[in-house]
Amino acid sequence: MEKLPRMLKSSELDSLNSISSSTFVLMKHWNIVVRGKVQKVFFRASSKAVADQLGVKGFVVNQQDGSVYIEAEGEKFALDSFLEFVQEGPEDAIVDSLDYTVSEIKGFKNFEVIKKNKI
C-alpha cells in the first residue's frame, strides 16, 4: 500500500511562508553602467559567465556611447560578488567608472547577452 503525503499543520505553513517572504526580501535588482574600455574586450561574455556561476539573473548590453549596461538581480551576496567582477572586468578591460542604482525585481529567468542588430 502506497503511503500518502501528510498534510502540513498551520504552524508549518506559517514557517514556510516566512521563509519564502524572507527569501524575496533578500533578492535585489541593480541597474549598472560600466564606462571605460569595456567593449570589444569580451566584457559581456565574461559577465554572463560570472553571473551564471553566481546564480545572478538579468542581461548585459553594449551602449552606443561605449559603455556597458547591465541589469542584474539575485541575492545580495551574489550581486556583491558580481559587482566585484564588473568593477575589474575581464583581462583586457579598463573600467574607468561604475554606477549602479537599486530597482524593482523583474523576475529574470536567466542571464543573457543582448546583441544589437547590425544595420
Q: Which residues are catalytic?
A: 44, 62
What is the end-to-end Cα distance of the chain in Å, rounded? Answer: 66
Residue 9 cell numbers, joined: 499543520
Q: What are phi and psi of 103, to 5 degrees?
A: -140, 180
Task: Quickly tell me which residue has 524593482 as its cell.
Answer: 104
Contact by Cβ (8 Å): 32, 95: no
Q: Which residues sit opposite 59 in a β-bridge?
A: 71, 112
**CB of 29 closer than 8 Å to CB of 76:** no
